[in-house]
């Protein structure tokens, strides 16, 4: 049989996620934040998947899906009757055990019952993702004649049958077919394409659809809607709530509870009734609590996600029909009600405006204005393809709330459905919760390896038991029971639950500090965090901005700074500030972006919207009007077309909303009584200057801009353009690209964005303990540089190298940086160092940082990937980064071996928060539900808190694991010693050890709180490291030796009588008594030794419950040892010696045991080995991470990076700009003409530069500072002084 193999490569916006092997067919693999218990074995599957032979990927086929991003391999299988029959014979012969194994490993069941075939003939497909997780899905056939009511749970209302099916094609077209083959994986449907011979994700109207298509549609008739729904299913995001019995059944079939069933069954057979009953009671209680909590979480998630509503759909003409939202399909045109609604689908806006609250998706509580999709028919072209990312400002997303609508005349606010169900933006978020990304944590993986080691010990004991009991002619049945009993002793069934104790207490402590953990498996990972990425705005800095001043430009010359903007002339600058925004009045309150709000309020103007009743407030397309609060006299009105009026009223006719990709927004306005329209634009200075006429831009623009950005101010440029020939109808349809060009540059708005008071202390704490801090922001580069220095993310003496990456090369430019004080002291003069000798950057005693923009980062990823590890290793500042780039950056940092945390305010940080090992959201919006941690404190103080609790939880898990391992081996040793004479511990001795000692100490073991101070060293994360292995081995050697010594020592006494074998299981004897008495002290000793305090946890004395428990249990053990009451002797079946002196020797031996264990743990392991020998011998050290190797190379390589001086880089930029002049040439020349006379000479010699020569004034050249002889170019330029800035502008006038 020929084998067919395929590779599935699906590209999209969301990040890779963890999908368990039975995500759809067997839904017991659910979100980590909903069921941590199942994750105990789900993690094992995530990392323990078997890798198939290379033939599995011998051929490839692309399966395109623009919703998720994941590389998967797919293979087709068809049923093999003979293989199926043989497999079921084997299942019967193994009493169903083989079927249980197949339940855990479904890919092997498929291979044992099916044979490989082509995808075209397959009835089942097997998929494997990049995490080596397997998915088995049935390939189903949907025929046009089939009744799809309730089919696959995708439909809840009957939709009947139709003569044909409609499947989507490119360009918004649909093809008629009689049937389709498909399978459903991770809530998405994949259909077979006969043309490409591949399974493709069911396409919606957001793929390969031109913008012109949406304006040519007239809505769907009910019949066509029904036919499409047969393929798309219902428009619903449903979270299934499992019945209690199903939850119970699936949990019982996990490996942990199967082992519990095996253990209890064995104990009942061996008549260990009490202990078995106790385990059954605890298991039932645990299962009951689990089923209740899991079902409660499912119901809470369903109640939060599932919504029901009715919508109005347009059927064409005047026909509007009201239907349930679940019946919507792509292509339907819905009427958005004027009072708003909760969107039930992703839809593109065709007419009218909508004010939308998108906090559910973005975390931003600021309302967003949505405008209609530009109609390409205006310029008689087909127009570009619709892209839901690029046209986000014209798209209403599922789950967002439309607050108000506005439309022209009697025209309805219409939107066409483009995506439904789990394909929507809300569906993506829900799927990211249901199927989270796997966290590869060494501690979790090594837990299973260690259990295998314990199983190996149990196997050795099993062989030993057979040998010893065969020698004594023990019946075979008894030998089997005794041998299997050793397995339940060597591998403690309670181990998985014990490992979660520290995590549970850590979550409680975090909750007390207003930090909520949704995914308990992330707590331990926080203990090894060594890199933290921070968003800037709203995270490091305050959300709000304060208006610092306006810098006007008249005739391409700077005018004096205006701090009181209310006293400005009513010229274009003030009109732009009053009109170029997205503010609106909601419930009689002015709402909108904080920057827009602060800018508008600083003008002292009023904003008025149509004064109609709220219910019909936006039923008409009436312009918003702005006007000054008080009339002014002597103001300039000629610029705004007001004629003689001293009380201007400006109407905002059209708004082009802000786009992060375009870095600007604009409005078309018309003044009362004016004959023409005006365009006002605001945005990033670089973008606005590139769109402005060169003759309107001051020559020293770049220098002035740098003056403020280096101080950490937020700088926005404003521009104007008259539109004399524009008519009202054309103003409603014209595209922004047609008007946003040839602008008149009018100046800068300078706004303050202060650091939060908690930022600098937290960054200092992290830096002091060698936790790397990284800034990832969408803001300006120079502003980010200033904030990084101010918060001490970049040291005051550290150098910053700007990375300028293009598709053809990478330039390393040494930036000018503060050499004395950061920007926290703006009134003090500071020195700037201009790099002249690149070797200064690479001095061993001087650290340097890389800084780059999002465009350079993208070019590095695409064209210079070999440089990415080095640059990311030293990268500290990443500016102008979009949400997708933030997530990619986190991934690249993880690839270097870092354990990364991401802290953001939830706005545009969701992707990075999901990708990081520990995402910490500072937003209470629903978007934070996918982040493992959510802090109600809106500052970064939560970061060290989470790390401290993570370290405490990880150390607790380590200690608890070592305690459980030593407990099982200690009890295993006791049983092995007693087996040698045919004896054993009694049932109540087991109960005393397991319930009273182990359970009580284990419960309080993790209550020790985290230490209040972070230290540089991180706790170990490997159970198979030399230190934990040496610790466990050392303790076990001591415990075994003590038990053996006591066993033989009691036999030396004259009153000793040996144990006599019997079949009545009467185990009372001196041997049993000696081993039991000393072992009960050993369990307490182990708990004390492994319960470490500093540096990661507080002292053990702070854990009052644990200390009290140890005291009470120790007293009880001493009482049992010295003089127990008769009922205790009878209950435990003890055989105590009559000598009190000998009993006191047990206490003395226990004290010696305690001293030996403390010496072993504290001196031999922690001091001698961990601190002395590991530092002396490299072979004992752990393997270096990738980032450590790269860092060592960077420190030793003085030839890299090849740093250019600022002068060299700007000269090269000038030459490149002059070779191919463009709209950006003015900006480049403004940057280039700042430092040197040589650049000015170059401009004079080049004909292409003549249009820009008039912008090069002698004033800008007078700012040059000649370098001292024999050294780098060094000068003093107090650019950090606000007073100096004003003086500089005055000198430029």
Do 515 and 945 touch, CB atoms closer than 8 A?
A: yes
Q: Which of 639, 562, 633 is nearest to 602 (CA)?
A: 562
**Dihedral pair phi/psi, residue 900, rounded to 5°:** -105, 135
CA dihedral 1017, 1018, 1023, 1029 (to 10 degrees): 10
| Residues facing 140 on adjacent strands | 182
- Alpha-carbon span 278 to 260, nearest angstrom: 12
Residue 248: CA count within 13 A, CB half-sphere: 11
Match 């080596």 to its residue by tokens: 132
Cβ count near 643 (within 10 Å): 13
Give the whole-angstrom CA distance, residue 699 versus residue 693: 12
Q: Give catalytic status of residue 535 as yes or no.
A: yes
Angle at 220 between CA 217 and CA 222, to 5 degrees: 170
If we measure between CA atoms, which residue out of 736, 716, 739 comes closest to residue 726? Answer: 739
With contact defined as beta carbons under 8 Å apart, do 202 and 137 qualify?
no
Per the CB < 8 A criterion, the answer to whether 404 and 352 are in contact is: no
**Calpha distance 1203→1165 (Å, rounded):** 47
Catalytic residue among 43, 535, 593, 909: 535
Phi/psi at 29 (5° precision): -95, 100
Separation of alpha carbons 1139 and 1148, rounded Å: 15
- Give the number of C-alpha atoms closer than 13 A to the C-alpha of residue 1254, restricted to the C-beta side: 8
- Distance in angstroms (rounded) separating the CA atoms of residues 552 and 554: 7
Q: In what order do the strands lie in the sheet with 179-185?
A: 140-143, 179-185, 188-193, 198-201
Helices and strands, number each (H, E), in the chain: 44, 46
Sequence-distant (≥ 6) Cβ neighbours of residue 293 within 8 angstroms: none
The alpha-helical segments, DSSP class H, found in 711-754 are: 728-733, 736-739
Tokens 């659910």, residue located: 30
Would you say 117 and 75 are in contact if contact means Cβ atoms under 8 Å apart?
Answer: no
**Which distant-in-sequence residues (6+ apart) come within 8 Å of 823 by Cβ?**
710, 711, 712, 786, 789, 790, 1280
Paired sense of beta strands 772-776 and 531-534, if any: parallel
Among the listed residues 391, 396, 400, the one whose alpha carbon sits nearest the alpha carbon of residue 415: 396
8-state DSSP, 725: T
For residue 596, say if its preceding peptide bond is cis, omega within 30 degrees of 0.
Answer: no
Is 419:346 a contact under the CB 8 Å cutoff? yes
Residue 739 DSSP SS3: helix
What token pair was written down for 333?
A: 């045109």
Long-range Cβ contacts of 463-470 (<8 Å, 24+ apart) = 464/976, 464/979, 465/979, 468/979, 468/980, 469/979, 469/982
Q: 1095: cis peptide before it, omega within 30°?
A: yes
In 3-state terms, what secondary structure has residue 738?
helix
Question: If you compute the radius of gyration of the chain from its CA atoms, what whole number of angstroms results?
Answer: 36
**Which residues in 284-320 are b (16+ Cβ under 10 Å) and which e?**
eebbeebbeebbebbeebeeebeeeeebebbbeeeee
Torsion sign, CA atoms 935, 938, 943, 945: negative
Q: What span, in angstroms and rounded, lies between the C-alpha atoms of 484 and 859?
A: 61
Active site residues: 535
């Amino acid at each position: 049989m020929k084998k067919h193999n395929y590779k599935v490569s699906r590209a999209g916006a969301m990040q890779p996620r963890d999908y368990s092997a039975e995500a759809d067919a067997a839904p017991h693999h659910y979100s980590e934040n909903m069921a941590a218990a199942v994750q105990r074995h789900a993690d094992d599957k995530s990392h323990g998947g078997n890798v198939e032979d290379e033939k599995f990927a011998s051929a490839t086929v692309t399966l395109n899906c623009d919703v998720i991003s994941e590389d998967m391999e797919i293979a087709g299988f068809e049923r093999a009757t003979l293989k199926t029959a043989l497999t079921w014979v084997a299942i019967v012969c193994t009493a169903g055990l083989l079927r249980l194994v197949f339940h855990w490993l479904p890919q092997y069941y498929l291979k044992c019952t099916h044979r490989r075939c082509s995808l075209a003939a397959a009835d089942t497909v097997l998929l494997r993702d990049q995490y080596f997780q397997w998915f088995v899905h049935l390939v189903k056939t949907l025929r046009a004649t089939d009744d799809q009511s309730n089919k696959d749970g995708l439909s809840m209302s009957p939709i009947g049958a139709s003569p044909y099916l409609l499947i989507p094609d490119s360009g918004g077209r649909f093809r008629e077919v009689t049937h389709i083959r498909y399978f459903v994986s991770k809530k998405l449907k994949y259909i077979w394409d006969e043309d490409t011979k591949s399974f493709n994700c069911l396409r919606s109207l957001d793929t390969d659809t031109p913008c012109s298509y949406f304006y040519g549609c007239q809505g769907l008739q009910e019949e066509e809607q029904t036919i499409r729904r047969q393929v798309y299913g219902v428009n619903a995001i449903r979270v299934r709530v499992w019945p209690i019995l199903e939850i119970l059944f699936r949990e019982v079939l996990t490996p942990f509870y199967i082992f519990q069933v095996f253990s209890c069954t064995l104990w009942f057979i061996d008549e260990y009734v009490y202990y078995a009953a106790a385990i059954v009671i605890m298991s039932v209680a645990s299962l009951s609590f689990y089923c209740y909590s899991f079902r409660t979480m499912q119901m809470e998630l369903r109640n939060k996600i599932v919504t029901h509503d009715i919508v109005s759909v347009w059927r064409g003409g005047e026909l509007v029909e009201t239907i349930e939202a679940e019946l919507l399909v792509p292509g339907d045109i819905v009427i958005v009600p004027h009072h708003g609604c909760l969107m039930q689908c992703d839809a593109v806006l065709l007419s009218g405006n909508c004010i939308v609250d998108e906090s559910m998706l973005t975390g931003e509580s600021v309302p967003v204005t949505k405008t209609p999709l530009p109609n390409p028919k205006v310029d008689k072209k087909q127009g570009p393809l619709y892209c839901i990312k690029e046209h986000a400002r014209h798209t209403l997303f599922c789950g967002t709330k439309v607050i108000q609508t506005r439309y022209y005349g009697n025209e309805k606010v219409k939107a066409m459905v483009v995506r439904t169900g789990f394909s929507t933006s809300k569906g993506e978020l829900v799927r990211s919760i249901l199927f989270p990304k796997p966290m590869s944590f060494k501690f979790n993986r090594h837990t299973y390896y260690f259990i295998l080691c314990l199983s190996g010990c149990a196997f050795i004991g099993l062989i030993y038991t057979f040998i010893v009991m065969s020698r004594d002619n023990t019946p075979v049945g008894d030998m089997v029971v005794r041998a299997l009993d050793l397995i339940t002793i060597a591998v403690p069934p309670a181990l998985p639950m014990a490992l979660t104790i520290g995590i549970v207490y850590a979550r409680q402590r975090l909750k007390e500090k207003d930090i909520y953990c949704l995914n308990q498996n992330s707590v331990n990972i926080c203990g090894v965090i060594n890199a933290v990425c921070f968003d800037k705005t709203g995270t490091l800095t305050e959300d709000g901005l304060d208006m610092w001043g306006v810098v006007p430009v008249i005739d391409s010359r700077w005018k004096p700074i205006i701090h009181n903007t209310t006293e400005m002339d009513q010229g274009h600058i003030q009109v732009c500030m009053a009109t170029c925004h997205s503010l609106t009045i909601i419930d009689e309150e002015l709402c909108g972006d904080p920057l827009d709000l602060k800018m508008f309020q600083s003008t002292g103007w009023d904003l008025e919207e149509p004064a109609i009743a709220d219910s019909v407030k936006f039923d008409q397309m009436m312009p918003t009007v702005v006007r000054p609060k008080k009339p002014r006299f002597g103001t300039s009105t000629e610029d705004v077309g007001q004629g003689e009026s001293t009380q201007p009223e400006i109407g905002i006719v059209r708004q082009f909303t802000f786009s992060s990709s375009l870095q600007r927004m604009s409005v078309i306005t018309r003044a009362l009584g004016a004959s023409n329209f005006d365009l006002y634009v605001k945005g990033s200075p670089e973008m606005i200057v590139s769109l402005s006429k060169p003759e309107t831009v001051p020559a020293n623009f770049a220098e002035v801009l740098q003056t403020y950005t280096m101080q950490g101010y937020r700088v926005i440029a404003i521009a104007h353009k008259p539109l004399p020939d524009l008519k009202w109808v054309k103003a409603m349809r014209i595209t922004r690209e047609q008007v946003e060009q040839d602008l008149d540059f009018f100046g800068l708005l300078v706004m303050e964005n202060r650091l939060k008071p908690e930022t600098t202390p937290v960054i200092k704490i992290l830096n002091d303990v060698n936790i790397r801090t990284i800034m990832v922001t969408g803001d300006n580069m120079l502003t980010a540089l200033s904030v990084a220095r101010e918060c001490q993310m970049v040291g005051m003496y550290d150098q910053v190298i700007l990375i300028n990456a293009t598709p053809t090369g990478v330039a390393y430019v040494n930036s000018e940086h503060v050499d004395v004080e950061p920007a926290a002291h703006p009134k003090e003069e500071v020195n700037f160092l201009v790099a002249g000798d690149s070797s200064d950057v690479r001095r061993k005693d001087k650290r340097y940082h890389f800084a780059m923009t999002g465009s350079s980062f993208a070019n590095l990823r695409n064209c210079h990937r070999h440089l990415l590890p080095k640059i990311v290793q030293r990268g500290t500042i990443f500016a102008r980064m979009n949400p997708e780039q933030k997530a990619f950056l986190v991934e690249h940092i993880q690839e270097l071996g870092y354990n990364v945390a991401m802290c953001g305010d939830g706005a545009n940080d969701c992707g990075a928060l999901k990708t990081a090992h520990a995402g910490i959201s500072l937003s209470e919006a629903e978007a934070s539900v996918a982040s493992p941690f959510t802090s109600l404190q809106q500052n970064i103080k939560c970061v060290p808190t989470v790390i401290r609790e993570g370290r405490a939880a990880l150390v607790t898990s380590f200690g608890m694991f070592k305690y459980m391992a030593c407990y099982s081996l200690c009890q295993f040793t006791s049983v092995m010693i007693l087996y040698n004479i045919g004896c054993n511990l009694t049932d109540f001795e087991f109960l005393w050890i397991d319930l009273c000692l182990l359970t009580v100490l284990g419960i309080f073991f993790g209550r020790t709180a985290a230490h209040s101070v972070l230290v540089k060293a991180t706790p170990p994360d490997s159970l198979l490291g030399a230190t934990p292995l040496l610790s466990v081995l050392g303790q076990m050697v001591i415990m075994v030796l003590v038990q053996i010594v006591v066993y033989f020592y009691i036999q030396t006494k004259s009153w000793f009588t040996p144990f006599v074998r019997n079949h009545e299981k009467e185990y009372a004897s001196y041997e049993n008594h000696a081993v039991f008495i000393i072992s009960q002290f050993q369990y307490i000793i182990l708990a004390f030794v492994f319960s470490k305090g500093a540096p990661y946890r507080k002292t053990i004395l702070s854990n009052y419950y644990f200390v009290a428990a140890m005291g009470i249990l120790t007293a009880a053990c001493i009482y049992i040892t010295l003089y127990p009451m008769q009922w205790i002797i009878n209950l435990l079946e003890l055989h105590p010696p009559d000598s009190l002196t000998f009993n006191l020797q047990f206490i003395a031996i226990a004290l010696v045991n305690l001293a030996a264990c403390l010496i072993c743990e504290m001196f031999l392991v922690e001091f001698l080995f961990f601190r002395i020998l590991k530092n002396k011998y490299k072979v004992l050290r752990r393997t270096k991470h990738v980032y450590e190797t790269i860092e060592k190379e960077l420190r030793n390589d003085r030839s890299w990076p090849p740093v250019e001086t600022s002068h060299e880089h700007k000269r090269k930029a000038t030459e490149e700009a002059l070779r191919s002049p463009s709209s950006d040439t003015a900006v480049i020349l403004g940057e280039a003409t700042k430092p040197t006379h040589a650049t000015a000479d170059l401009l004079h010699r080049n004909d292409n530069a003549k249009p820009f020569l008039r912008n090069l004034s002698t004033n800008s050249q007078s700012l040059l500072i000649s370098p001292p002889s024999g050294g780098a170019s060094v000068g003093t330029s107090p650019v950090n002084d606000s007073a100096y800035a004003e003086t500089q502008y005055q000198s430029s006038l």
